[in-house]
Amino acid sequence: MNDNLNDMALFAAVVQHQGFTAAARALGVSKSLLSRRIDALETRLGVRLLQRTSRHFSVTSTGECYAIECQKLLQQAQTAQQVIDDLQQNPSGLLRVCTPVMMAEMIVAPLMTGFLTRFPAITLELLAINRSVDLLEENFDVTIHSHSEPLEDSGLYRKPLGTLNYVLVASPSFIAALPAPPSVDQLSYLPTLARKTPWAGSQWELVHPQEGTRKVSLTPRLISNNLLVLHQAAVDGMGIALLPEMACKQSLHEGKLTSLLPDWQTQPSSISALYASHKGQSPALRVFLDFLSEKLHGAM
């Protein structure tokens, strides 16, 4: 089929340029190659399209009719290519994204106004789901996850987007009420705001560049599986929280929160996008992943 279409395009060019020499020059191919391809086309069709000798060139009546249809086909192909080019330049359509609730609220949602402003023709459907999702079965384009361990092999393509750092924070009023700035050992005896997950909740594992790793047992005043709850409690002076730096960046900037023990941090988590197909990636998905990578690159 491809050979047929290519030969039809070559034939249309020969008719348009009224000869092999001019057509070969316009197409950037040799005259002998062009002649062989037209011969092959006529053999396949079983008709004579051109009359040519060393001194004469003309298009048969059959060739004239065939050339018209070839030109229509080429115009349709150019129109189809233009559609793809336009989508590449101006991505549009519906993009369905799913992500765990925490990731949606604290990481992805704050970036979406910028994305939709940059790509006004894209409609974004962002669903926060705390369960395993089958992208193909549920018709999602991509899912975004944070993870400290390598992801299991799911057969999906993975694009690393960035790194998520956690920082110790508390409100200025909470810190002012302490008799002295706390040490890492004193965290066990101070009110803390703990995140409840299947793998954590009773202790923080903190790392110092010189002092190494320290496991800190917690005396939590509030336990929640929702980082927005913990963030608000920290702002309200209820205790010390361990939060994603990106999630509390604005509160730190506005002075609602203050960083504690900045040299003590957790091991960073990775942020990854998972999607079903690399080869068939839509322009909307491509620019979405590029946008997230741009905003989330490096450590946050």
Q: Mean of the pLDDT values across residues 266-273?
A: 84
Q: What residue ranges of the chain are covered by domains with CATH 1.10.10.10?
A: 2-89
Q: Which residue has the higher pLDDT, 88 or 76?
A: 76
Mean pLDDT of 118-147: 88
CB-based contact 284:95 (threshold 8 Å): yes
Question: What's the whole-model pTM score?
Answer: 0.61
Distances in whole angstroms, Cα of residue 135 to Cα of each of 112, 141, 144, 181, 277: 21, 7, 11, 48, 11
pLDDT of residue 20: 85
Cα three-residue angle 229-230-235, rounded to 5 degrees: 100
With bands split at pLDDT 50, 70 and 90, how would you rate the model's confidence at 299?
very low
Neighbouring C-beta atoms of residue 4, cutoff 10 Å: 12
Amino acid identity of 274? L
d(CA 23, CA 50): 14
The boundaries of every CATH 3.40.190.10 domain in the chain are 93-163+270-296
pLDDT at residue 219 tops 90: no
Q: What is the pLDDT of residue 242?
A: 92
Residue with tokens 């057509």: 23
> Could you tell me the pLDDT band of residue 197, with boundaries at 50, 70 and 90?
low
User: In angstroms, rounded to a whole number, what is the distance separating the alpha carbons of residues 52 and 55?
Assistant: 8
CB atoms within 10 A of CB 127: 14
Report strand pairing: 240-244 vs 191-195. Answer: parallel
Residue extent(s) of CATH 3.40.190.290 domains in the chain: 166-260
Residue identified by tokens 């051109």 is 50
**Does the domain formed by 166-260 have CATH 3.40.190.290?**
yes
Task: pLDDT band for 279, please (50, 70, 90 cuts).
Answer: low
Q: Tell me which of 214 and 154 has the higher pLDDT.
A: 214
The per-residue pLDDT for 91 is: 83
**CATH code, 2-89:** 1.10.10.10
Looking at per-residue pLDDT, the higher value among 14 and 124 belongs to: 124
Checking if the pLDDT of 166 tops 80, the result is: yes
- Residues 6 or more apart whose CB falls under 8 angstroms from that of 11 comprise 38, 41, 49, 63, 66, 67, 70
Summary mean pLDDT of the chain: 84
**Domain 93-163+270-296 CATH (choose: 1.20.1090.10, 3.40.50.300, 1.10.10.10, 3.40.190.10):** 3.40.190.10
119 pLDDT exceeds 60? yes
